Amino acid sequence: METFMENVVDPAVVTLITALVAYLLKVGLPALIDLLLKSKAATLVKAAESLFPDGGAGAEKYQWVADQLQAYAKKLLTRVKDDRLRVYIEAAVTELHAELPASLGAAKKQIEESK
C-alpha cells in the first residue's frame, strides 16, 4: 500500500497542483490585472475631472488618463494595447456619467434639508 502511495498518489497530487498553478497563472492573473486596470481607470477618470475642470479639455484629459494608466500597467509588469486602453477609459467615463445624476440629486437634497 505504501508503494502505491509513493508511486501513484504522490505524482498525481504533484501533477494536479502543478496544473492548478498553471491554470491560475494563465486565467487568474490576467483577470486580476484586468480588474485592477478597470478600477485604476475609474479613479484616474475622476481625478482628471478634478484636474482639468474645463469642459473642452476632453483630449487632454484622455491623454493624461491614458499615460497614467499605461504607467500603472507597467508597474504591474504588463502592457496595455491602445484599443484596450480606450475601452477601459470609455467604460470609466460612462460609469462616471451614470453616477453623476444620482450624486447631484443627493447633493441637492442635502442642500434643501439644510435650509
Each residue's pLDDT tens digit, 15-52: 888 998 888 888 888 889 999 999 999 999 999 988 88
- From 78, 72, 1, 77, select the one nearest 39 (Cα to Cα): 72
Looking at residue 92, its pLDDT comes to 94
Say yes or no to pLDDT of 2 above 70: no
Sorted by where each begins, the domain ranges of the chain are: 33-114
Looking at residue 50, its pLDDT comes to 86
Within the chain, residue ranges assigned H as helices are 2-4, 10-23, 29-51, 58-75, 82-114
Whether the model pTM is above 0.75: no
Give the integer Cα–Cα distance in Å for 42 and 94.
10
